[in-house]
Structure 1
C-alpha cells in the first residue's frame, strides 16, 4: 500500500455498502484539537473519519459497525490511515496527528508492506514519523501482547508514538498500560464529565495521575465540555485535554482553541476541587485492635479459670467457646473479685465458669468498620468498656478487644477524618485547606485568605447547649457558602467556630460584608425573646464569673496575598489568623491586614 493523492469520485447513494464507500473514496476526515492544558496551546489533532453527509453511515459508530458486519473492518481502518495522512499533510498544521488503529489493524498493516516503505511514503508527503501518534483502540482484542510490543519497537525507533485510547471504559487494562508503556493515555470521557463537581472522580483522576507519573506517561483527558471541568482537570496535573469546549471536529485543523476556552486559560483562576460531602472513609476495622488471646471451653470450671488468670497476668478477659463459637466472656477483675469471696471456691469451684460469665457479650466481626464502631460507643449497653468484647471471623473466635483500645482508636480515626472533612458541616478540613493554599501559591496569582470566627460563641453554647451551638455553626457554614462563588472561592472549616475562605473573586470584600450582615441577622433567631430584648445573655466567662455577653456575631480577618509574598501554606494560615484576632480585638466586622473596614449596619 502506498500513500497517493485522492481522486475525485461521485458520492454514492445512501444505501451503498462500506465496500462501495471505499471504492468511491467517499470517506473524509475531520480533525479535533488536542490542547495543552497549562496554557491552551494546540498540541495536535485527532483524525476522525466521516461518511457521506446525511446518510446512515455519516458517523464513525455506524460506519465501523457496518464494516464489521460486512467483514471489512481491517480494510476500513487501513483506508482511514491513508485518508488521515493525505488530508493532514496539505494543511501543514503544526503538532502531532493522532490516528486511531486497532492492534489487529496495526499488525495487519505492518505485515502487508514493509515498514521502511511506509516510512518513505510518509516522508514523500512531507510528514515526519515523529509527528504521528497511533491511538490503539479495541483494547479487549489484544490477544498477543508480547507480539504487539515487538511489532511496535521498530515503529517507535522511527519516532512514531503510541497512545492508549479510552482508558477506563471497562475494556482497557492497567496491565496493558504497564507492559505497553504508551507515550499517551487518553482517559475515557466518563471521568472528565462533571469532574469539577464530583469528589469521587477527582480521587480517581488523582490515582490515574500517580500511575501516569510512575510509568512516564502523558495523560489526555477526553470529553471536556465545560470551563469548570477544564480547570479541574488541568489543576489535577493532567497535561493534555480534548473536548467540545476546547474545539469541535472540523474539516480543517483548528488554528487555536475556541474563544470560550481561551478566556479560561487567560483568566488564571485555579479550580475549587470538590471534596467528599462527608468525612473521608477509613480503612480501619476492629481487626486492627484485636488481641489474639487463648480461649476457654464452655465446660471450664471456676478453679481452672482461676489458674488460667493467675498463669497469665496479661489476660484482660477470656472468651468461653462451644465448638469454636463464643458463648460467653469472663472479665478478669470481676471474676477474681467473685472468686475471692468467702466459700466461693468451695461452693462453685468445680462448676462451669459460664455460670457467672457475661453470656451476652459484645461480639464483632473482624471486618467491622468505623461507622459501626461509632454506633457501639453510643449504644445503651456499655459493659464492653469494662468486660471488653469478642472478635470473630466467619462466626468463629478470633480474639479479644478492650473497651479502652476501642474508644482510643475510634477517637483517633475521627480526629484524622476531621482533618479532611469537618464532621459537623462536611466542609473541607485542615489538610484540604493547606492543599488549596499550596495550589494558589504555586499558581503565581494573587488571592485573599479570610479567617472567620464567631464572637461570644462560648457563652451562647454554655447558655443554650451544644445542640443549638452546633446549629449556629452550621448556620455560619451555610452563610459562607451562600455568599461565595463555589467555582472560584474555597470554603474550609478549621474546627469549632473557625472558618477559612480563600477568595479568587474580585468582589471578595463585598462578599465578606454580606456574609457578616446575613449571619448577624439570621443568628438572632436562635435567641429567646428576653435575650433579644436585652441584646445579650448572662453567662459565665472563662474565669467562671457570671457576666453579660452581647449577641453572637461574626468577624472576618482578611489577608491579601501577592505573588511571591509567602512560600508555605502555614505562613498564609498564620497571617490570616492574626488578621482575624485583630478583627475580634477591635470589634470590627471585617478587618483587612493593613487597613480596617467596618461593614455597614
Structure 2
C-alpha cells in the first residue's frame, strides 16, 4: 500500500489529550486564518464563543511544523505536526482547543481532524523526512473498537482517505499514556499500523504519566523524553544519569530517543555527546507553517564543533547503593525458652558463631547473645548449677542494634563513632519488615564503609566534591576521541607539607579547598573540566582558547589568598621553620601554586595514561625549576 489515508471521523466522548503540543504566547489579531489560506474577517467584539464543531466543519484548523534533527549529523529527521486554531482566537493554541473539544464531547473527532489536516498540509509543503502526528492512545483504541476489527488488529478499514503519501514516512506519537484502558486493543492497532509501514513513538516520556510497561508492550521506534530532563541539563547530574539510564533502556527495547525542549547550545552539546539520536526545541528550530529545511545556524555550529561537553558529575561521595543486606551472615538462632546449657552446646558446635539472635514465635528478634560474654559467664564457678536450665534471655542484650536490610551503608557509619562500642564487638541483627534475616559484624561494617568511600572518592573527592580519578580519565578519553586539540594542566602546591605539619590538618584542608574554589572561579564550566586527583593534586582539562591566561589568574589569585591562612609571624618572616621530608629543620617559604601544562595536539597521544603521564611530567618540571607555570608541547 503506497498511499496514506487516515482515521475515520468518530463521535466519541472519550477524554483525550492536548495532542499537537505548542510553544509560545498567543498574539491576537482581528482575523481568522483557515487551513486553505483563506481569511475570514471578524470583529473584535465576540458575540458568541467559538465552537470546535464549527472549526472542524469549516476547515479552520491549520498545522505548524517543528523540525526534529539528527544530533550526530545535524540533518533534519522529520517534523512534528502542531495544530493551530484560528489565529488570534481563544482557541488558537492546543490546550484551549482540546479543552473545548472535551467540553463538546468531540475529543476523538478533533484529534482525527487534526491528523488529517497535518497530512494535507505536509503534502502541500512537500517536506522531507518523517511526519510525527500526535494521537492519544485512548483515541486510537476507541477508533479500533468502533470499527469492529478482528483479533489480528487489521487496520486497513481504519485508513480511508487517500492522500498519495507513503505510510513509512508517518509516525504516530502516542500521548496521554495513562489513559490506556486496554493494552491488547492498542497493541493490535499498532500491529496493524506497522504492517502498513507506520512508525510508533511515545511522547513526553518521563512527565509523570508515562508508562515503562507501555514502552515494553508496544516496542516504539522512538521515545520522546520530556523537556523537564533537557532543561538546564548541564547543571544537573541527576538528569544526566536519567538520560544514561534511558539510553540503556532504549538499547534494550530497540528504540531511539528524542530529547525535547532543547533551548541552548550547552544542552545540545551534552545531548550530542551522550549519544542521544534526535533532538527538538527552539534552539534547533521553531514551529512554522512551511517547516524549515535546516536547523538554525547556532545549532549547526554546535553540532559541527569538535568541542565536547563538560558532563555534570554528582558532587558528593556515595556508597553506590550498597545496603545492609550485603552484610548478612547467615547464623542459627534460638527461641526465648532456650536454656543456657543448650546455648553453650550451640556455641561449642559452631566455633565461628560470634553471637546468636533470640527470636519470638513470629521470627522477630528480641535479644542478642554475645559469644565472648556468654562464655566468660559460663566459665565462672557454679554458673552451670545456678543458671544452666534458666532461659538464655536472662543475660542477653535485650536492646540489640536491629537494622533493616535496605538501610544504606553510610547510615550505619554512626555505629563506628558511637560511644557504645559493644555494637562493633557483638555486631547487629539484620531484618526485613521486622523479620530476622541474619547477623552483621562490626568487622564487615568497617570494611564495607571503607571500600564504599574509597570507591566513591574515585568518582568524587570527599573533601572538595570535585570529580575524582574515574571521571577525569573518562573526560580525557572523550577529548582524545573528539580529535580536537586541548590542554591538560596539573596543579600542585609548593611547600604544603610543612604548612600542614605546622598548622594541622584542619587548616591544611582549608588550603586544598582554596585551590578548588579559585580554580573553579577561573574555569569555563561549559568548556573546561576541573578534577581533584587527591591530596593537593588537581587536574584541569582546557578547551578554552585563553587557557594560559586562566592558569595565570588561578596562580595569582591563589597565591594572594593563601597568605591569609598563615599567622602574622610567618607572613612577616615570609614563611615558617619546619622539618623537611628528611626530618631536617629548615626554612620554608609560604605555600604557592605551580601548574604544569601540556598541549595535546590531535593524534599526538592515543591513550588516557599517556596524557596523565605527560601532565605529571610538566608538573614536575614546574616544581623542579620553581616556576609558577610551565608549558610543554607534544610532538
Same fold (TM over 0.5): yes
1:160 alignment partner, one of 178, 183, 198? 198
Partner SS state of residue 257, structure 2: strand
Alpha-carbon distance between aligned partners in 2 of 1:8 and 1:439, rounded to the nearest angstrom:
54
Alpha-carbon distance between aligned partners in 2 of 1:192 and 1:163, rounded to the nearest angstrom:
18
Partner SS state of residue 122, structure 1: coil
Cα deviation digits, residues 527-568 of structure 1 (max 9, x gap): 112222222223333333333322222121212122233333
2:322 alignment partner, one of 274, 281, 284? 284
Tell me the residue number matched to 1:223: 261
2:281 alignment partner, one of 243, 254, 273? 243
1:451 Cα deviation (Å)?
1.5
Calculate the TM-score normalised by the size of structure 1.
0.90
Alpha-carbon distance between aligned partners in 2 of 1:2 and 1:393, rounded to the nearest angstrom:
57
Whether the aligned pair in 1 keeps the contact of 2:171 and 2:201 (CA below 8 Å) is yes
1:166-177 to 2 correspondences below 5 Å: 166-177=204-215
Partner SS state of residue 473, structure 2: helix
Alpha-carbon distance between aligned partners in 1 of 2:155 and 2:449, rounded to the nearest angstrom:
66
| Structure 1 unaligned regions, length at least 5 | 596-601
Q: 1:364 to 1:486 in 2, by over 3 A?
A: same
Alpha-carbon distance between aligned partners in 2 of 1:393 and 1:183, rounded to the nearest angstrom:
41
Alpha-carbon distance between aligned partners in 2 of 1:151 and 1:339, rounded to the nearest angstrom:
76
Whether the aligned pair in 2 keeps the contact of 1:7 and 1:25 (CA below 8 Å) is no
Q: Mean alpha-carbon deviation: is it higher for 244-253 or for 131-140? A: 131-140
Tell me the residue number matched to 2:21: none
Cα deviation digits, residues 107-165 of structure 1 (max 9, x gap): 67774998489588232xxx332322222223223333333333334533443322221
Q: Mean alpha-carbon deviation: is it higher for 457-466 or for 391-400? A: 391-400
Tell me the residue number matched to 1:143: 181
For the pair 1:122 / 2:135, whether they are aligned, the reply is no
For the pair 1:476 / 2:515, whether they are aligned, the reply is yes
Q: 1:463 to 1:362 in 2, by over 3 A?
A: farther
Q: Mean alpha-carbon deviation: is it higher for 244-253 or for 382-391? A: 382-391
1:203 alignment partner, one of 241, 261, 264? 241
2:610 alignment partner, one of 571, 578, 599? 571
1:256 alignment partner, one of 294, 297, 306? 294
Alpha-carbon distance between aligned partners in 2 of 1:549 and 1:519, rounded to the nearest angstrom:
18
1:358-437 to 2 correspondences below 5 Å: 361-437=400-476
Aligned-residue CA RMSD (Å): 2.9
1:419 Cα deviation (Å)?
1.3
Alpha-carbon distance between aligned partners in 1 of 2:297 and 2:574, rounded to the nearest angstrom:
55
1:407 Cα deviation (Å)?
0.7
Whether the aligned pair in 1 keeps the contact of 2:488 and 2:541 (CA below 8 Å) is yes
Cα deviation digits, residues 255-288 of structure 1 (max 9, x gap): 3222332332344322212112212353222232
1:241 Cα deviation (Å)?
0.7
Q: Mean alpha-carbon deviation: is it higher for 402-411 or for 165-174? A: 165-174
Partner SS state of residue 410, structure 2: helix
Tell me the residue number matched to 1:520: 559
Cα deviation digits, residues 441-464 of structure 1 (max 9, x gap): 222222111121222222222221
Whether the aligned pair in 1 keeps the contact of 2:234 and 2:312 (CA below 8 Å) is yes
1:489 Cα deviation (Å)?
0.9
Cα deviation digits, residues 205-236 of structure 1 (max 9, x gap): 11111111122212111111122111122222
For the pair 1:213 / 2:254, whether they are aligned, the reply is no
Alpha-carbon distance between aligned partners in 1 of 2:111 and 2:595, rounded to the nearest angstrom:
63
Q: 1:55 to 1:406 in 2, by over 3 A?
A: same
Alpha-carbon distance between aligned partners in 2 of 1:195 and 1:316, rounded to the nearest angstrom:
50
1:342 Cα deviation (Å)?
6.0
Tell me the residue number matched to 2:582: 543
Tell me the residue number matched to 1:99: 133
Q: Mean alpha-carbon deviation: is it higher for 223-232 or for 482-491? A: 223-232
Alpha-carbon distance between aligned partners in 2 of 1:155 and 1:306, rounded to the nearest angstrom:
73
1:295-306 to 2 correspondences below 5 Å: 295-296=333-334, 303-306=341-344
Tell me the residue number matched to 2:104: 70
Alpha-carbon distance between aligned partners in 1 of 2:541 and 2:192, rounded to the nearest angstrom:
52
1:79 alignment partner, one of 97, 109, 113? 113
Cα deviation digits, residues 396-442 of structure 1 (max 9, x gap): 54433222111111100111111111111111112221222222222
For the pair 1:234 / 2:272, whether they are aligned, the reply is yes
1:348-367 to 2 correspondences below 5 Å: 361-367=400-406
Partner SS state of residue 593, structure 1: strand
Q: 1:360 to 1:139 in 2, by over 3 A?
A: closer
Whether the aligned pair in 2 keeps the contact of 1:221 and 1:240 (CA below 8 Å) is yes
Q: 1:102 to 1:534 in 2, by over 3 A?
A: same
| Structure 2 unaligned regions, length at least 5 | 7-34, 149-153
Q: Mean alpha-carbon deviation: is it higher for 488-497 or for 260-269? A: 260-269
Alpha-carbon distance between aligned partners in 1 of 2:239 and 2:624, rounded to the nearest angstrom:
43
